[in-house]
Amino acid sequence: MSESSFSATQTSPVLALDKVTVQRGETPLCNGVDLQLAAGGICHLIGANGTGKTTLLMQLAGLLPVLTGTIEYQGRAGLPIQPLYISHQLGIHPNLTVAQNLTFLLNLYGIAPSLDDIDEALAWVGLQGFETVSSSHLSAGQTRRITLARLYLLTPEVTPLWLLDEPFTALDVDMVARMQQRLQAFAAAGGAIVMTSHQAVGVANQMLDLSEYDLSDTDITEPD
Protein backbone atom coordinates (compact mmCIF):
# COMPACT_ATOMS: atom_id res chain seq x y z
CA MET A 1 0.00 0.00 0.00
CA SER A 2 1.33 3.44 -0.88
CA GLU A 3 1.82 6.10 1.79
CA SER A 4 -1.11 8.11 0.43
CA SER A 5 -3.37 5.05 0.46
CA PHE A 6 -2.31 4.26 4.03
CA SER A 7 -3.09 7.82 5.09
CA ALA A 8 -6.55 7.61 3.50
CA THR A 9 -7.18 4.35 5.32
CA GLN A 10 -6.38 5.98 8.65
CA THR A 11 -8.45 9.14 8.15
CA SER A 12 -11.43 7.91 6.14
CA PRO A 13 -14.50 6.24 7.64
CA VAL A 14 -14.35 2.47 7.64
CA LEU A 15 -17.67 2.55 5.79
CA ALA A 16 -19.38 5.38 3.91
CA LEU A 17 -22.70 5.14 2.07
CA ASP A 18 -23.85 7.97 -0.16
CA LYS A 19 -27.40 7.91 -1.52
CA VAL A 20 -27.48 4.13 -1.84
CA THR A 21 -30.57 2.39 -3.14
CA VAL A 22 -31.26 -0.83 -1.29
CA GLN A 23 -32.48 -3.02 -4.10
CA ARG A 24 -33.18 -6.69 -4.62
CA GLY A 25 -33.31 -7.58 -8.29
CA GLU A 26 -35.10 -4.75 -10.08
CA THR A 27 -37.15 -3.81 -7.04
CA PRO A 28 -35.93 -0.91 -4.87
CA LEU A 29 -36.75 -1.35 -1.19
CA CYS A 30 -35.58 2.06 0.01
CA ASN A 31 -33.69 4.96 -1.52
CA GLY A 32 -31.00 7.50 -0.70
CA VAL A 33 -29.40 5.70 2.26
CA ASP A 34 -26.47 7.60 3.82
CA LEU A 35 -24.09 6.42 6.54
CA GLN A 36 -20.68 7.41 7.89
CA LEU A 37 -19.19 4.75 10.16
CA ALA A 38 -15.76 5.44 11.62
CA ALA A 39 -13.42 3.08 13.41
CA GLY A 40 -15.00 2.34 16.78
CA GLY A 41 -18.52 2.63 15.39
CA ILE A 42 -21.23 0.07 16.14
CA CYS A 43 -24.29 0.77 14.02
CA HIS A 44 -27.62 -0.85 14.88
CA LEU A 45 -29.46 -1.27 11.59
CA ILE A 46 -33.21 -1.17 12.14
CA GLY A 47 -36.38 -0.75 10.08
CA ALA A 48 -39.75 -2.27 9.37
CA ASN A 49 -39.94 -5.61 7.55
CA GLY A 50 -39.41 -5.05 3.86
CA THR A 51 -37.14 -2.03 4.15
CA GLY A 52 -34.12 -4.12 3.22
CA LYS A 53 -31.96 -4.69 6.29
CA THR A 54 -30.71 -8.10 5.17
CA THR A 55 -30.43 -6.90 1.58
CA LEU A 56 -28.29 -3.92 2.59
CA LEU A 57 -25.94 -6.14 4.58
CA MET A 58 -25.57 -8.37 1.53
CA GLN A 59 -24.78 -5.31 -0.61
CA LEU A 60 -22.17 -4.18 1.91
CA ALA A 61 -20.65 -7.68 1.84
CA GLY A 62 -20.41 -7.56 -1.97
CA LEU A 63 -22.97 -10.32 -2.46
CA LEU A 64 -25.53 -8.10 -4.19
CA PRO A 65 -24.83 -5.22 -6.58
CA VAL A 66 -25.19 -1.54 -5.75
CA LEU A 67 -26.96 0.00 -8.74
CA THR A 68 -27.49 3.53 -7.39
CA GLY A 69 -25.29 5.47 -5.00
CA THR A 70 -21.80 4.70 -3.77
CA ILE A 71 -20.21 2.63 -1.01
CA GLU A 72 -16.66 3.25 0.11
CA TYR A 73 -14.56 1.19 2.51
CA GLN A 74 -11.73 3.11 4.18
CA GLY A 75 -12.06 5.77 1.50
CA ARG A 76 -11.98 3.38 -1.45
CA ALA A 77 -14.65 1.83 -3.65
CA GLY A 78 -14.70 -1.69 -5.06
CA LEU A 79 -14.62 -3.65 -1.78
CA PRO A 80 -10.87 -3.31 -1.09
CA ILE A 81 -11.26 -4.93 2.33
CA GLN A 82 -12.60 -8.32 3.37
CA PRO A 83 -15.60 -7.73 5.62
CA LEU A 84 -16.93 -10.45 7.88
CA TYR A 85 -20.53 -11.31 7.05
CA ILE A 86 -22.53 -13.58 9.33
CA SER A 87 -26.00 -14.26 7.99
CA HIS A 88 -29.02 -16.48 8.55
CA GLN A 89 -27.33 -19.03 6.27
CA LEU A 90 -24.82 -20.62 8.59
CA GLY A 91 -22.39 -22.19 6.10
CA ILE A 92 -21.61 -25.12 8.41
CA HIS A 93 -20.84 -28.47 6.76
CA PRO A 94 -22.65 -31.24 8.67
CA ASN A 95 -20.01 -33.86 7.86
CA LEU A 96 -17.18 -31.88 9.45
CA THR A 97 -16.41 -31.77 13.15
CA VAL A 98 -16.95 -28.62 15.16
CA ALA A 99 -13.20 -27.86 15.15
CA GLN A 100 -12.91 -28.52 11.40
CA ASN A 101 -15.79 -26.17 10.61
CA LEU A 102 -14.35 -23.39 12.75
CA THR A 103 -10.91 -23.90 11.21
CA PHE A 104 -12.38 -23.66 7.72
CA LEU A 105 -14.26 -20.44 8.56
CA LEU A 106 -11.06 -18.88 9.89
CA ASN A 107 -8.99 -20.10 6.93
CA LEU A 108 -11.22 -17.96 4.70
CA TYR A 109 -9.63 -14.94 6.38
CA GLY A 110 -6.09 -16.25 6.20
CA ILE A 111 -6.00 -17.46 9.80
CA ALA A 112 -4.55 -20.86 10.65
CA PRO A 113 -5.72 -21.33 14.24
CA SER A 114 -3.75 -23.38 16.74
CA LEU A 115 -5.39 -26.05 18.86
CA ASP A 116 -5.33 -23.61 21.77
CA ASP A 117 -7.06 -20.97 19.62
CA ILE A 118 -9.80 -23.43 18.72
CA ASP A 119 -10.22 -24.52 22.34
CA GLU A 120 -10.47 -20.93 23.60
CA ALA A 121 -12.89 -19.82 20.90
CA LEU A 122 -15.18 -22.80 21.45
CA ALA A 123 -15.05 -22.33 25.21
CA TRP A 124 -16.09 -18.70 24.67
CA VAL A 125 -19.30 -19.82 22.92
CA GLY A 126 -19.96 -22.66 25.36
CA LEU A 127 -18.84 -25.51 23.09
CA GLN A 128 -15.82 -26.67 25.04
CA GLY A 129 -15.43 -30.42 24.69
CA PHE A 130 -17.25 -30.47 21.33
CA GLU A 131 -14.12 -30.17 19.17
CA THR A 132 -14.34 -33.66 17.66
CA VAL A 133 -18.15 -33.91 17.58
CA SER A 134 -19.71 -34.11 14.13
CA SER A 135 -21.64 -30.92 13.40
CA SER A 136 -24.56 -33.03 12.21
CA HIS A 137 -25.17 -33.98 15.87
CA LEU A 138 -25.58 -30.40 17.08
CA SER A 139 -28.73 -28.44 17.75
CA ALA A 140 -29.50 -25.37 15.63
CA GLY A 141 -28.37 -23.13 18.47
CA GLN A 142 -25.08 -25.00 18.90
CA THR A 143 -24.45 -24.88 15.16
CA ARG A 144 -24.97 -21.13 15.19
CA ARG A 145 -22.39 -20.81 17.95
CA ILE A 146 -19.73 -22.31 15.66
CA THR A 147 -20.18 -19.40 13.27
CA LEU A 148 -19.97 -16.91 16.14
CA ALA A 149 -16.85 -18.51 17.62
CA ARG A 150 -14.69 -16.91 14.92
CA LEU A 151 -15.47 -13.48 16.41
CA TYR A 152 -13.24 -14.42 19.33
CA LEU A 153 -10.19 -14.65 17.04
CA LEU A 154 -10.81 -12.06 14.31
CA THR A 155 -9.24 -8.62 14.69
CA PRO A 156 -9.59 -5.29 12.82
CA GLU A 157 -6.23 -5.97 11.15
CA VAL A 158 -7.75 -9.05 9.50
CA THR A 159 -11.25 -7.74 8.83
CA PRO A 160 -12.01 -4.16 9.90
CA LEU A 161 -15.74 -4.37 9.19
CA TRP A 162 -18.22 -6.86 10.66
CA LEU A 163 -21.68 -7.26 9.10
CA LEU A 164 -23.87 -9.25 11.46
CA ASP A 165 -27.44 -10.28 10.67
CA GLU A 166 -29.32 -11.05 13.89
CA PRO A 167 -26.27 -12.42 15.75
CA PHE A 168 -28.16 -12.71 19.06
CA THR A 169 -30.80 -15.11 17.72
CA ALA A 170 -31.19 -18.29 19.82
CA LEU A 171 -28.57 -17.18 22.35
CA ASP A 172 -29.10 -17.16 26.10
CA VAL A 173 -28.68 -14.04 28.21
CA ASP A 174 -25.12 -14.91 29.25
CA MET A 175 -23.98 -15.46 25.66
CA VAL A 176 -25.62 -12.23 24.50
CA ALA A 177 -23.69 -10.39 27.20
CA ARG A 178 -20.42 -12.00 26.10
CA MET A 179 -21.21 -11.12 22.49
CA GLN A 180 -21.82 -7.48 23.34
CA GLN A 181 -18.54 -7.35 25.25
CA ARG A 182 -16.73 -8.80 22.24
CA LEU A 183 -18.35 -6.32 19.86
CA GLN A 184 -17.32 -3.47 22.11
CA ALA A 185 -13.73 -4.78 22.33
CA PHE A 186 -13.51 -5.15 18.55
CA ALA A 187 -14.74 -1.58 18.05
CA ALA A 188 -12.36 -0.26 20.71
CA ALA A 189 -9.49 -1.90 18.81
CA GLY A 190 -10.41 0.08 15.67
CA GLY A 191 -13.04 -2.09 14.02
CA ALA A 192 -16.51 -1.08 12.86
CA ILE A 193 -19.77 -3.04 12.96
CA VAL A 194 -23.14 -2.89 11.22
CA MET A 195 -25.66 -5.28 12.71
CA THR A 196 -29.34 -6.06 12.80
CA SER A 197 -31.05 -7.22 15.95
CA HIS A 198 -34.60 -7.40 17.20
CA GLN A 199 -33.10 -7.16 20.67
CA ALA A 200 -31.64 -4.04 22.21
CA VAL A 201 -27.98 -3.46 21.36
CA GLY A 202 -26.62 -1.70 24.40
CA VAL A 203 -23.14 -1.21 22.93
CA ALA A 204 -24.34 0.47 19.72
CA ASN A 205 -23.26 4.09 19.33
CA GLN A 206 -25.05 4.71 16.03
CA MET A 207 -28.40 3.77 14.52
CA LEU A 208 -29.54 3.58 10.91
CA ASP A 209 -33.31 3.32 10.49
CA LEU A 210 -34.22 2.28 6.95
CA SER A 211 -37.85 3.14 7.67
CA GLU A 212 -36.85 6.81 7.44
CA TYR A 213 -36.05 6.45 3.74
CA ASP A 214 -38.53 6.47 0.89
CA LEU A 215 -40.01 3.05 0.29
CA SER A 216 -40.82 2.07 -3.25
CA ASP A 217 -43.21 -0.72 -2.34
CA THR A 218 -44.35 -1.20 1.24
CA ASP A 219 -45.94 -4.54 0.34
CA ILE A 220 -42.58 -6.19 -0.36
CA THR A 221 -41.22 -8.35 2.42
CA GLU A 222 -37.89 -10.03 2.95
CA PRO A 223 -36.43 -12.20 5.71
CA ASP A 224 -35.62 -9.79 8.55
Look at residue 18 and give its three-state secondary structure. strand
Per-residue pLDDT tens over the stretch 114-159: 999 999 999 999 999 999 999 999 998 899 999 999 999 999 999 9
Per-residue pLDDT tens over the stretch 186-207: 999 999 999 999 988 999 999 9
**Confidence at 24, pLDDT banded by 50, 70, 90:** confident
Q: How far is the C-alpha of 156 from the C-alpha of 158, rounded, in Å?
A: 5
CA neighbor of 148 nearest in space, from 129, 132, 172: 172
Q: Are strands 161-165 and 27-37 parallel, antiparallel or unpaired?
A: unpaired
* Strongest mean pLDDT among 18-27, 125-134, 206-215: 125-134
Residue 45 near residue 53, CB atoms below 8 Å: yes
Look at residue 59 and give its three-state secondary structure. helix
CA neighbor of 224 nearest in space, from 66, 46, 83, 25: 46
Overall pTM > 0.75: yes
- Write phi, then psi, for 144 (nearest 5 degrees): -65, -35
Using alpha carbons, list the distances in angstroms from residue 124 to 110, 134, 149, 178, 182: 21, 19, 7, 8, 10
A 10 A CB-CB count for 119 gives 16
